[in-house]
Amino acid sequence: MRRTYVEAIVAAIAAEMRSDDRVFMIGQDIGRFGGPMSGSKGLFEEFGPRRIREAPISESAMVGSAIGAAMYGQRPIVEISFGEFLPLAMSQIVLQAANVHYMTAGEASVPVVIRSRLGDGPYRGHPQSYEAWFPHVPGLKVVMPAMARDAGRLMRAAIRDPNPVLFLENMQCYHAVREEVPDEDDPLPIGTARVVREGGSVTVVATGWLVHRALAAAERLVSDGISVEVIDVRCLAPLDLATIVRSLRKTSHLVIAHEAWKVGGFGAEISAQIAETALDALDAPIARVGAPGIPVPSARPLRERFIPNEDDVIAAIHKVMAY
Amino acid sequence: MPRLLTMYRWMWLARALERACAESNPRWFPIEGEEAAVVGTFYGLRPEDVIAPHYRGPFVTYLMRGVELDRLVGQVLGKVNGYTRGRAAAFSGPVGFNLIPWVAADLGTSLSVATGAALSIAYRRESGQADDRVVVVSFGDGTANRGDFHEAINLAAVWKLPIVYVCQNNQWAISQPLNSYIAGPLIAERAAGYGIPGTSTDGNDPVALNDVVLAAVTRARTGEGPSLIEARTYRLTGHWAEDVASYRSPDEVAIWQQRDPLALARGRLQETGHSEAELNEIERTAVADVAEAFRRVRELPDVGDAELGLDEVYAV
C-alpha cells in the first residue's frame, strides 16, 4: 500500500500496539482530533482512551511520567506536538531518560519513545530544528527519517528498543513524501545510514527534508556530468560513520546538508569525525549547507530564503568540485 | 512492638548513619532534625509499593525495605560494593527494591518520574489486572516551586493516579528562608487547586505524620487518586555537611533543637514505660552498627576503571 511518511509512522505504531499491550501513547490532541498534522489518525478509534491518553499541556510531566512508566514495565510513546516544545521537557530527556540505565549500573532501563516534529511546520508555524542537541547526550538514541518506509520501520524499532529513543519527524516530509509501505514490515536496526542514490563524483550526506533537496540537486547536475551520491543519515545516534567513509573513499568530496542552523548543527559533528578518521579520503575541504544564524523568520519570502534548498546544495557541490 | 518504638530504632539508625556519611563526605546532605519526617512518611508501606524519597535522608527508607547497609556505605565511600558501582550520586538506591533512583541532581524531575510509576500501576488496573500498589514520593519545600510539582500533581489528579506527594518542609532552601520563596501560608493548601486532598501536619511527630500518610495511601490503593501532605520540620544542620549555616539565627536553631524529633520520641516512650536502659541500648546499637559497617567497607577496594562502563550506556 502506498503511504505517506506520516501514514507509515501511524501504521507502525498501530501494528506495535496490536502486538504489545504495554505500548501506549501520551500527548495533546491525539484523541478524536487525530493528532497534530494527522500524526495519530485512527489510533483513538482503534485503541480508545486507555492507550491513547490525552494529557494536560505539561511537557515535563508527560515525558517524566513516561520515563517512570517505562522503568516500571510499560513501553510508552510520548508525543511532544512540535520540536518547539522539546526544551520544556529537556531536563527529563537529558537528565532522567538518558541517565537511568548507566547510573543504575544496568539495573533499570527506559524503553520510551519521544516523538516530535521538526523542520518547517504547518502554515509556517512551530518551525524549529533542534535535533543537534540530543546526540550530544550519552544514553539517547536519535532517529530522524527522511523516507516513508524507513520512518515506519524505524518507529517499529524505536518502540521495541530498550533505550530512550528521540524519534524526530520532519514536517516537510509529512504529507509530501510517499512510497510503497507494506502492512507487515520488519523493524530497521537503529544506527544505519543508507545510500539513497549512488554516484561517483561527490557525496552529499543529508538529513530529513534536505535528503529530498539533495536528490533533486543530483538530478539537475546529471547534465553537467557531476555524479552525486546521496546518503540519508537516518540516525544521529548511534551514527553510522562507516557508510559515509565508504562513500568518501569512492568520491573524495563531501557536502553535508541539513535544515537546521549550520553553526553547531549535526553537520559539524560529521565533519569533525570525518576529519579525525578519514581526512586522507578527501580531495577538497568539506562544505556544509545549513540555515543562517538568525531566528526562524515568519513571512513566506524570508522563510523560503532561510530554509536551505537545492540551489544551496548545488552551490556547495560546485564549490567542493572546483577546489 | 509499638509503632513508635520501631520508628525510634529507624530514626536512630538514620541519625547515626547520616552523621557518619557527613563525616566521610563533605557534600552529604544531612538529615539531622528531619528523621521523623522521613521515617513517618515511609513507614508501614508494602515492599511492592514504589518509593521515591527526597535526597535528604533517603538511606533509612531503603534500609526499611531490606537494602544492605554495607552496600549503601560503599556508595558513600566510592567502593566497589555500592549498588550503583560509583556511577550515580551516593544517595541513590537499588531499583530492585521498588524505588526511584537518583540519576540527576536537579530538583523536581523525580516527581514526574515517580508519577510515571503510578501511571504504570494505573494502566495495569485500567486493563483489568489486579494491582493495588501505590507510590509515595517526598521532596523539599524548595522543590515545591519547581514546575514539575505543578505538572506532576495536576497530571496525577486528572488521571487519578495512586500516588502520595509528601513535602518535607524544613523551612530553608539552602540559605534562603521560607518567606523568600513562598508567599502563601501552607504548601498543602495548594492541593485545593488540583482538586485533591491536602493536609499539613507536624513532621517531627512520626506517628501523627504516619497516620496521615497511611490514610492517603489507603485512598490511593482504593483508586481514589493522589493526595498532597506537608510535613513541617526543621533542618538542624547546614544544607551540606560542611555548611555552617551562618545565614540563620542561633535563636531559631535553639528553638528547634528543643523540638528534636528523637528527643521528643524518647520522652514519649519513657512516659509509656520504656526504660532508660532500653532506649540507650537502641541508640548504642545504631551507632555501633554504623561504625562496624564503615569499618568493614573501608577495607574494600575503590571503584576502578572496570566500573566506568564505557560500553554500558545503552541497554541491550
Tens of pLDDT, residue by residue over B259-313, are 999 999 999 999 999 999 999 999 999 999 999 999 999 999 999 998 999 999 9
Contacts with A91 from chain B: Cβ below 8 Å:
104, 106, 108-109
The 3-class secondary structure across chain B, one letter per residue, is CCHHHHHHHHHHHHHHHHHHHHHHCCCCCCCCCCHHHHHHHHCCCCCCCEEECCCCCCHHHHHCCCCCHHHHHHHHHCECCCCCCCCCCCCCCCHHHCECCCCCCCCCHHHHHHHHHHHHHHHHHHCCCCCCCCEEEEEECCHHHCHHHHHHHHHHHHCCCCEEEEEEECCEECCEEHHHCCCCCCCHHHHHHHCCCEEEEECCCHHHHHHHHHHHHHHHHCCCCCEEEEEECCCCCCCCCCCCCCCCCHHHHHHHHCCCHHHHHHHHHHHCCCCHHHHHHHHHHHHHHHHHHHHHHHCCCECCHHHCCCCCCCCC
Q: Which of residues 32-91 of A touch B (CB under 8 A)?
A: 50, 53, 55-56, 58, 60-74, 91
> Which of A94, A96, A161 to mutate: most B Cβ within 10 Å?
A96
Cis before A308? omega within 30? no
Confidence of residue A1 (pLDDT cuts 50, 70, 90): very high
CB neighbourhood size of B310 (10 A) = 7
pLDDT over 90 (residue A227): yes
* Percent above pLDDT 70 for chain B: 100
Q: How many beta-carbon pairs under 8 angstroms link A with B?
A: 155
Q: Using CA atoms, how far apart are residues A282 and A35, in angstroms rounded to an integer?
A: 45
Q: How many Å lie between the alpha carbon of B109 and the closest alpha carbon of chain A? A: 6
pLDDT exceeds cutoff 90 at A94: yes
Q: What pLDDT digit, counting tens, does each position of A44-67 carry?
A: 999 999 999 999 999 999 999 999
The CA-to-CA distance between both ends of chain B, in Å, stands at: 47
| Chain B residues within an 8 Å CB radius of A73 | 120, 124
pLDDT classification of A281: cutoffs 50, 70, 90: very high
Residue of A nearest to B147 (CA): A60
Mean pLDDT, residues B165-178 taken together: 96
> Does the CB of B101 have a partner CB in chain A at under 8 Å?
yes
Q: pLDDT tens across A159-210, in order? A: 999 999 999 999 999 999 999 999 999 999 999 999 999 999 999 999 999 9
The pLDDT assigned to B214 comes to 98
d(CA B84, CA A107): 9
CB A189 within 8 A of CB A143: no
pLDDT band at A247 (very low <50, low <70, confident <90, very high): very high
pLDDT in tens, B17-42: 999 999 998 889 999 999 999 999 99
pLDDT confidence of residue B1: 66
pLDDT confidence of A123, banded at 50, 70, 90? confident
Separation in Å, CA of B194 to nearest CA in chain A? 12
**Closest among A208, A207, A205, A209 to A273, alpha carbons compared:** A205
Q: Quick one: pLDDT band at residue A125, thresholds 50, 70, 90? A: confident
Residue B223 touches partner A, C-beta closer than 8 Å: no
Q: What value does the mean pLDDT take over residues B3-21?
A: 98
pLDDT confidence of residue A124: 79
For residue A56, the chain B residue with the least C-alpha distance is B155
Contact between chains at A91 and B315 (C-beta distance less than 8 A): no
A106-115 pLDDT, tens digit per residue, is 999 999 999 9
Closest CA–CA distance from residue A103 to any residue of chain B (Å): 5
Share of chain A above pLDDT 90, in %: 98
User: Cβ of A100 under 8 Å from any chain B Cβ?
Assistant: yes
- Which of A127, A130, A175 minimizes the C-alpha distance to A151? A175
pLDDT score, position B27: 85
Interface pTM, i.e. ipTM: 0.97
Restricting to B residues 121-150, those with a Cβ less than 8 Å away from any Cβ of A are 121, 123-124, 126-127, 147-148, 150
Over 70: is that where the pLDDT of B239 sits?
yes
What value does the mean pLDDT of chain A take?
97
Q: Do B155 and A163 make contact, defined as CB atoms within 8 angstroms?
A: no
Which pLDDT tens digit goes with each residue over B93-147? 999 999 999 999 899 999 999 999 999 999 999 999 999 999 999 999 999 999 9
Q: Catalytic residue positions of A?
A: 126
Residue B184 clears pLDDT 90, i.e. is over it: no
